[in-house]
Structure 1
Amino acid sequence: MKVSINRLKKYIHFDEDTTTIADLLTQSGLEVEGVERYESIQGGLAGMVIGEVLTCEPHPNADRLRCTTVDIGTEVVPIVCGAPNVAKGQKVVVATVGATLYPEDGESFVIKKAKIRGEVSEGMICAGDELGLGHSHDGIMVLDTSLENGTSAKAYFDIEEGDVLEIGLTPNRADAASHLGVARDLKALLKRELHMPDISSFKVDNTSRPVKVEVESAQDCPRYAGLTISGLKIQESPAWLQNYLRALGLEPINNVVDITNFILHDLGQPLHAFDLDKVEGDTILVKKLPSETAFITLDEKERKLTGEELMICDPKGGLCIAGVFGGEDSGVSDQTTSIFLESAYFSPDVIRRGSLVHGLKTDASFRFERGTDPNMPLFALKAAALLIKEIAGGEISSEPIDLYPHPAADFEVAVKYANVDRLIGKHIPAETIKEILENLEIGLKNETEVGFTAIVKPYRVDVTREADIIEEILRIYGFENVLLSDTYQAGFLAEHPSKDGNKLQYRVSELLTGMGYHEIMTNSLTKPVYSAKAAHLKEEDNVEIYNKLSEDLGVMRQTLLFTGLEVLAHNINRRQKDLKFYEFGNTYFKEESGYREESHLSLFLTGAKSSESWLEPNKEVSFPDLYTIVERLFEKLNLQTPAVEIIHEAPYDYALRLMIGAKEVGTIGLLSAAVTQLAEVKQAVFYAELSWDIMTKKAKGLKQYEEISKFPEVRRDLSLVIDKEVSFDAVKKVASKAGGKLLNHIGVFDVYQGDKIDAGKKAYALSFYLQDNTKTLNDKMIDQTMNRLMQSFEKEIGALIRK
């Protein structure tokens, strides 16, 4: 939301600079996110002065140029000018050397001392478009002024300039969505008097165009006010109004519409002007229209009403979606001579529904759906009517209508001084509290030594409880004035996670996507048939939905498996069979004590390993392809290498259970055909489901990379003959223990099972990489390490070392 410093000064006098005002507002809860400088003429005519042409002679080397001398106050300068209307004795605008021009058409440029066709030129006599004052380039601007030569051009053109605050308005501060609302806070912060616009001159000129208004639902429209203005003329707004709107980022339209926008941003009250001659029977009806009614809005789009929108109508049909957007036929145009001016208070709920259903977000709906001041419509209506008479002419041609059957009551909130001190953490004297609240226009009654009752006006929709009153006191008193005691400690505070789960998830997503996996997002609701037919799921653990949309979406999922298989089936049925998917999602379980929710990461791998190519034959994916990905995930999260346990249980044909200490992190394996066929997938699928909760809790943060060691790495190979039952994980555990700090990495580059070794045996060809980051390894150190490894393999896993 943008707020003009110049306009704020109309409400409250202050000499403080913009930075001080911005700091005060930010500290009080109206965060100033930025400050812009507005100038009605770009550049503010800096470096432009009033000059007088003393001489004007033809250029000796160019027919269309003139050589002039111009008195610019401090000196007389030569200027070469190409304008046909330049003449001796004229008062002109001169851009001096070093000034920057911002023409209406084209890029800005700096005036430099130059030679033009051999003649010195030290400045430029300007045309209107060169100053940013229109598009005319017929000749230079000739001024009718008695201002002295050298006077800044700003003094002649009366430039509007000033600072504009960009305020990040929080949803609860609907009262501050205007210059008046911000000024109210400044009143309390600066302890200054607030000056409201003067509407005492308002009077009804005649009653020649009365309008009948009927409101069907006072609940949707608690207050509706309006009046008619006849005999006005639609034209451009005066410069001050156009500058006000442009400073706030709005484009002027015409004098009447501009005034309604002015009042909206000034007082926070949206208004709407209807062309009175287009209102059937001079009758306004505030009601809802039937569902599927067609309505064309100002943007010339036809919209189907849902029956929930509040509409402003005449006997013929809809004129406007109340508080949101006007209709095509009822708006003000150049031919309008009479208007009905609407000022209302609508229920925030009904405006929010109308805005959301049609995707229309306007300045008016922004304020109405947060809650405007129910006591402002009549005041704003009179202020707007006076402005329209002043700028557009015309006469107020009806008595103001004000349908307000149930006036909004003030909020009454009981407050205890003890609670003020307790929540703020500091004793604030009662007199200071009273002064703050009175400056915030919050009244007090029933005052005692213990407390008081605060009387809050309805426009403060966010101040309805004792805690809200205390917050108001604190934000004006100043958070910076509540000092922390020297005895306060942070040791009692709850533990804060050192790891950012969202950042870890983002980095893992980057890794998986970079390795060719596609992220999927599936519904947390799934089919009850899966838990009924899958052996590894229990029906009694299902979290059932009471108001289910269908049987296929009847329970919350216990696993990411089946919703992911449905995505596989969808793609496979469309001839996309080579798939790599991952998903972050939640699973849900019913327990005796209530419900449990867990966060999981699933991986799916099926089809060919790579796209079909003449370079190499097709190869189906295998278990190691997926396991390698899981290893990379653990490495990325700086997790310790998981222990593995071979399992043969549902939903897998074969799989590994991954453990970190006593915690099961997840499983990875080949899904059984019985499980995949439940989702109508008929090809082999490798699947991993990992506990993302455990992984993020155990993660030591993202892997931190180190500088490459300047000392060389050494590789040594061994061939082991071991029992078939001995897993590579067992080999790694033995190697890690025996190899110590020097063992960087162990890998398998060949596996053999055949008639050249005993039955029940297999041979591993292993590579060992040794390195010391502090020195170069010598043969003695390498041999010692390799001997320890061989002895450990022979002793702990019964290996035969092939030499």
Structure 2
Amino acid sequence: MQISYNWLKQFIKTDWDAAKTGELLTDLGLEVEGIEAFESIKGSLEGVVVGEVLTCVKHPNADRLQLTTVYLGNGDPVQIVCGAHNVAAGQKVPVATIGTTLYDDKGEAWTIKNGKIRGEESNGMICAEDELGLGKSHDGIMVLDKNLEPGTPLSELYDVESDHVFEIGLTPNRADAMSHMGVARDLRAGMVQLNLNSEFITPSTSSFYVANRTQKVTVEVADHELAPRYCGVTLGNLNVKESPVWLQNRLKSIGLTPKNNIVDATNYVLHELGQPLHAFDLSRVNGEEIQVKTLPSGTKFTTLDGVERELHEEDLMICDTDKPLCIAGVFGGEDSGVSEGTTSIFLESAYFNPVSIRKTAKRHGLNTDASFRFERGIDINITKYALKRAALLIQEIAGGEVTSDIVEIYPKKAEDHQVVLNYDRAYKLIGEEIPKETIKSILASLDIKIINVTESGLGMMVPPYRNDVTREVDVIEEILRVYGYNNIGFKTKLNASIASSNRLEDYRVQNIIGDQLAGLGFYEIMGNSLTSPAYVELTESLKKEHNVSMLNPLSNDLSVMRQSMLFSGLEAVSHNLNRRQDNFKFFEFGKTYHNYNGTHEEQKCLSLLFTGNRAAENWTVPAMPTTFFYLKGLVYAIIERLGLEHTTEKPVKNDIFSEGLQLSISKKEIVQLGTVTKKIAARFDIDQEVGYVIFNWDNILSLLADKKTLFTPIPKFPAVRRDFALLLDKNVPFSKIYDIANNADHKFLKDVNLFDVYEGKSLPEGKKSYAVSFMFQDEKKTMTDKQVDKIMATFRKKFEDETGATLR
């Protein structure tokens, strides 16, 4: 938000420089992000003087150039080559002397230098008005009053205004400061604490009067919840033209382009007081009636920018008896705006429901100065005052007269809201005891009325325009920001509290696994929880009726909450593949969202996605693609890190995985993993294999909560290893060998591992060879060969009986 310092000084008189004022505003919470100098005429006409053309002859070497001699008030006349058709001897003209900096229409600077033009010296430049920033005309040079003295600085003849403009980073809660008056209010409060009691000056409306009642307009508001207050008045006999220079300068300083005196006046009051207004050409209002209402969904309406928009049934509109005129609080209509031929207007000032305006602005993709303020909540108490202020300003700059009484519809008056402040709680939150009289002074400077005073605290009435001050803590914040955060002293003693935290808190477990994955080369991603409804059609495992839909979606592609982590992850995979990143691993902690018969459920998940090779290319290591078994090993590493055990496996058959596996513990599914089908990958323009793992994080947390951790000493006695080379049928999986060994009930067996698989010509048809290692350990003594051989003999017999395996 841009605030003009000169404009600010109309509310509060101060001789501070801009930098000092900016520091105080920042201390008050209105952070000044920058201060820019503004000049109504760029360069301030410095170096431009009045010159008298003594002679003017045709340039000897150019048909379209003139050779002039110009007297500049002192010294000898100078020779200047001029290309203007209207230059003549005896004229008084503006001359940019050597060294003067001028600016082109794009704001680029260039400097006047000595030079030769077609062989003749030129020592300056006779200027047109657009070259000096005094107008837009380039039809010849400016001819000045013949009574002017040569050498007179042109800056003395034109009102060049210099200003400083504050760029304020306004936080959304400070709706009260969205105007010069609002910023001035805060500045006054800050100055009071510095014992500088400057008068707060507001524009007077005492001269407002109704000249006649010849153009009465009636107003009907259909829904007072959407338009709690609505005011309007008519003005006639107006003369639409350019605004006076002072008004144009005010608007230009804050980045607005002047249009005409009526529109400029409404914009001026908007930025002066924070109250949006709108002027309707009265000749285009049919039936002499204004209706504030909603229209049927699908109604067409063309706005001021020439765009035809389709209205929503909740959009509040300003209409006449036949047609819509304006999207209330957002944007005017093409057929009702003020033009050069306008002579009478209906001037509107209203308070609209912030939520309604925000939804309408978002629906139509509009962000105007008016909607910006209405969305955050303006001051309902100044609606009529701002209307009078604008009417008087329009009369001042456009003539005319007020031709009707003010129409006001305000059925339910907004009341101040009551807040109670306890001194002890204030001191506790602030960390320092502020004198009670200082607190009262601060509150008074903020227009907060004290209605009750006790030893323990204050009872207060807060004005409606401070819609962010509704609780005791809000009042304490107001006291602190005006008192000054920098005025709160530091304690020499530092107190800190340590909160009790369970080691199984969700964030702690996430950090553990996140660190593990990062150490394995994974990058964490954060996908959008909003996604496309079309994604549920990619798999039969998701249902359209389970979607959680947005009431006000930003677009159709972001209109539902995701039911699966897969598709937002594949969007990230596709994004990176399209940027020539072929090998990567992603992980994401997030949620999926489901609507089960009107009951909304959220499920926490951990998803992994990877594609390409396990590691980057390196001459010392051959390329190793990511395989299903790499996925499985990674999943088991995570399960082991979590301290979970006793998993059971079963294949997953669905249209997401071309091959998949599900792991469960205590009948709770904890993870599914597999390779994404080519059909789904192709939907995201992915033509290489993608591995996907999805952990049910809620089930993992519940298993961890039930898990008891036991600590045992490290065994003092060595482990013993034995190996078998088993010849078995190809259809016998290693899991069968693993289960037989573990179910043999040998307490000394610690691990079973498959370390080699061989299938070749030397083996019988339909056979394969497993090389399996077995680790044994007795925690109380060293095991003997005889003990181990006996166990291995038992294993051998079980393998032979249950799988038909033989030793090679």
Structure 1 and Structure 2 fold alike (TM over 0.5) = yes
Aligned equivalent of 1:274, options 272, 280, 284: 280
- CA spacing shift, 1:283–1:650, aligned 2, 3 Å: same
Aligned equivalent of 1:442, options 439, 448, 459: 448
Is 1:129 matched with 2:130?
A: yes
> What is the CA-CA distance between 1:460 and the residue it aligns to?
1.0
> What is the CA-CA distance between 1:144 and the residue it aligns to?
2.0
Number of the residue aligned with 1:236: 242
> What is the CA-CA distance between 1:136 and the residue it aligns to?
3.3
The correspondence of residues 102-121 of structure 1 with structure 2, limited to 5 A, is 102-104=103-105, 108-121=109-122
Number of the residue aligned with 1:223: 229
Number of the residue aligned with 2:706: none
Give the whole-Å Cα distance in 2 for the aligned partners of 1:15 and 1:460. 28
Number of the residue aligned with 1:310: 316
Number of the residue aligned with 1:688: 692
Give the whole-Å Cα distance in 2 for the aligned partners of 1:299 and 1:340. 21
The correspondence of residues 764-803 of structure 1 with structure 2, limited to 5 A, is none
Please, which moves more after superposition, 329-338 or 183-192?
329-338
> What is the CA-CA distance between 1:7 and the residue it aligns to?
0.6
2:376 alignment partner, SS class? coil
Q: Which amino acid in 2 is paired with 1:9?
A: K
Give the whole-Å Cα distance in 2 for the aligned partners of 1:494 and 1:74. 87
> What is the CA-CA distance between 1:450 and the residue it aligns to?
1.5
Is 1:650 matched with 2:655?
A: no
Aligned equivalent of 1:486, options 488, 492, 500: 492
Give the whole-Å Cα distance in 2 for the aligned partners of 1:532 and 1:361. 37
> What is the CA-CA distance between 1:398 and the residue it aligns to?
1.1
Is 1:586 matched with 2:587?
A: no
Is 1:648–1:654's contact at 8 Å kept on the other side of the alignment? no
> What is the CA-CA distance between 1:23 and the residue it aligns to?
2.2
Number of the residue aligned with 2:778: none
Give the whole-Å Cα distance in 1 for the aligned partners of 2:99 and 2:513. 55
Is 1:645–1:657's contact at 8 Å kept on the other side of the alignment? no
Number of the residue aligned with 2:419: 413
Is 2:418–2:459's contact at 8 Å kept on the other side of the alignment? yes
- CA spacing shift, 1:489–1:757, aligned 2, 3 Å: farther
Q: Which amino acid in 1 is paired with 2:405?
A: E
> What is the CA-CA distance between 1:187 and the residue it aligns to?
0.9
2:356 alignment partner, SS class? helix
Q: For 1:568-594, what per-residue CA distance to the aligned partner results, in whole angstroms no more than 9, with x for missing partners?
A: 9xxxxxxxxx9999784635699xxx9
Q: How many residues align?
A: 662
Number of the residue aligned with 2:15: 15
- CA spacing shift, 1:93–1:531, aligned 2, 3 Å: closer
The correspondence of residues 667-682 of structure 1 with structure 2, limited to 5 A, is 668-669=673-674
Aligned equivalent of 1:261, options 267, 273, 277: 267
Aligned equivalent of 1:382, options 363, 367, 388: 388
Give the whole-Å Cα distance in 1 for the aligned partners of 2:53 and 2:107. 27
Q: For 1:632-681, what per-residue CA distance to the aligned partner results, in whole angstroms no more than 9, with x for missing partners?
A: 9999x9x99x999998523286769899xxxx9977556899xx9xx9xx
Q: For 1:38-80, what per-residue CA distance to the aligned partner results, in whole angstroms no more than 9, with x for missing partners?
A: 3222333233233445666666666633142532558865444
Give the whole-Å Cα distance in 2 for the aligned partners of 1:113 and 1:481. 58
Number of the residue aligned with 2:200: 194
Number of the residue aligned with 2:325: 319
Please, which moves more after superposition, 367-376 or 20-29?
20-29
Number of the residue aligned with 1:70: 71
- CA spacing shift, 1:84–1:335, aligned 2, 3 Å: closer
Give the whole-Å Cα distance in 2 for the aligned partners of 1:724 and 1:109. 90
Number of the residue aligned with 2:195: none
Q: Which amino acid in 2 is paired with 1:18?
A: A
When normalised by structure 1's length, the TM-score is: 0.69
Give the whole-Å Cα distance in 2 for the aligned partners of 1:566 and 1:129. 53
Give the whole-Å Cα distance in 2 for the aligned partners of 1:13 and 1:260. 24
Aligned equivalent of 1:329, options 314, 320, 335: 335
> What is the CA-CA distance between 1:470 and the residue it aligns to?
0.9
Q: Which amino acid in 2 is paired with 1:402?
A: E
Number of the residue aligned with 1:29: 29
Please, which moves more after superposition, 490-499 or 430-439?
490-499
Q: Which amino acid in 1 is paired with 2:38?
A: Y
Is 1:228–1:338's contact at 8 Å kept on the other side of the alignment? yes
> What is the CA-CA distance between 1:178 and the residue it aligns to?
0.9
- CA spacing shift, 1:330–1:566, aligned 2, 3 Å: closer
Q: Which amino acid in 1 is paired with 2:12?
A: I
Please, which moves more after superposition, 75-84 or 41-50?
75-84
Give the whole-Å Cα distance in 1 for the aligned partners of 2:54 and 2:343. 51
Q: Which amino acid in 2 is paired with 1:325?
A: F
- CA spacing shift, 1:282–1:52, aligned 2, 3 Å: same
Is 1:356 matched with 2:357?
A: no
Q: Identity, % of aligned pairs?
A: 46
Is 1:622–1:686's contact at 8 Å kept on the other side of the alignment? no
The correspondence of residues 549-560 of structure 1 with structure 2, limited to 5 A, is 560=565
> What is the CA-CA distance between 1:188 and the residue it aligns to?
0.6
- CA spacing shift, 1:302–1:523, aligned 2, 3 Å: closer
Aligned equivalent of 1:476, options 474, 482, 486: 482
Is 1:666–1:691's contact at 8 Å kept on the other side of the alignment? yes
2:137 alignment partner, SS class? coil
Unpaired stretches in structure 2, ≥5 consecutive residues: 193-197, 502-506, 552-559, 574-581, 595-599, 615-622, 654-658, 702-722, 728-732, 735-754, 772-808
Is 2:11–2:201's contact at 8 Å kept on the other side of the alignment? yes
Q: Which amino acid in 2 is paired with 1:110?
A: T
Q: Which amino acid in 2 is paired with 1:323?
A: G
The correspondence of residues 602-751 of structure 1 with structure 2, limited to 5 A, is 602-603=608-609, 624-625=626-627, 648-651=649-652, 668-669=673-674, 687-689=691-693
Give the whole-Å Cα distance in 2 for the aligned partners of 1:628 and 1:45. 75
- CA spacing shift, 1:84–1:462, aligned 2, 3 Å: same
Q: For 1:390-419, what per-residue CA distance to the aligned partner results, in whole angstroms no more than 9, with x for missing partners?
A: 111111111222222322111111111112
Give the whole-Å Cα distance in 1 for the aligned partners of 2:140 and 2:513. 66
Number of the residue aligned with 2:579: none
The correspondence of residues 505-544 of structure 1 with structure 2, limited to 5 A, is none
Give the whole-Å Cα distance in 1 for the aligned partners of 2:72 and 2:520. 71
